[in-house]
Amino acid sequence: MSANPEIPAEKTAGRIVGNLDPDLAARLKKDGDGLVAAVVQQHDTREVLMLGWMDEEALHRTLTTGRVTFWSRSRAEYWRKGDTSGHTQTVKGVSLDCDGDALLVMVEQIGPACHTGTPTCFTGRELEAVVGDDEREGE
């Protein structure tokens, strides 16, 4: 059911394999491009800053270096957040969700997280939405 199609060669060029702990690698449920989603959250304010993508090597680097590293889908290369912008993300903790397809990375963000200069990649980008009624009773 969940077998991935083979990843197109042009998407794996430049990728490094074999460094991530094999037990952890086996727990990852990667998409068709060999990636898992990484939600990045400011550790103290709990603001969701952005969502990036990690392959095994990007996760390995994130877990072992104290700096968040993604796989850039658009540039097809490793991207250590802040190397160009100075807006680094220092790792405070990493969790893998129940089914292995998403990471939650707690960070200390320096400067704006978004390349557009907004504090987060979601700031000022609200969609029109019907707000639901709470169904919680009492309290």
Least distance in angstroms from the C-beta of 18 to a second copy? 18
Least distance in angstroms from the C-beta of 96 to a second copy? 5
Interface with a second copy (CB under 8 A), residue total 59
Q: Which amino acid is at 137?
A: E
User: How far is Cα 53 from Cα 103, in angstroms, rounded to an integer?
Assistant: 9
Q: CB-based contacts of 139: which residues, under 8 Å, 6+ apart?
A: none
Reported residue count of the chain is: 139
What Rg, from alpha-carbon coordinates, does the chain have? 17
- Give the distance, in angstroms, between the CA of residue 122 and the centroid of all CA atoms in the same chain: 14
Q: Does 25 bind a second copy (CB under 8 A)?
A: no
Q: Does 39 bind a second copy (CB under 8 A)?
A: yes
Residue from 16, 19, 64, 83 in contact with a second copy (CB under 8 A): 64
Q: Does 72 bind a second copy (CB under 8 A)?
A: no
Q: CB-based contacts of 95: which residues, under 8 Å, 6+ apart?
A: 103, 104
**Residues in touch with a second copy (CB under 8 A):** 1-2, 5, 8, 24, 31-33, 37, 39, 41, 45-48, 50-51, 62-67, 73-74, 88, 90-99, 101-102, 104, 108, 110, 114-116, 118, 121-122, 125-136
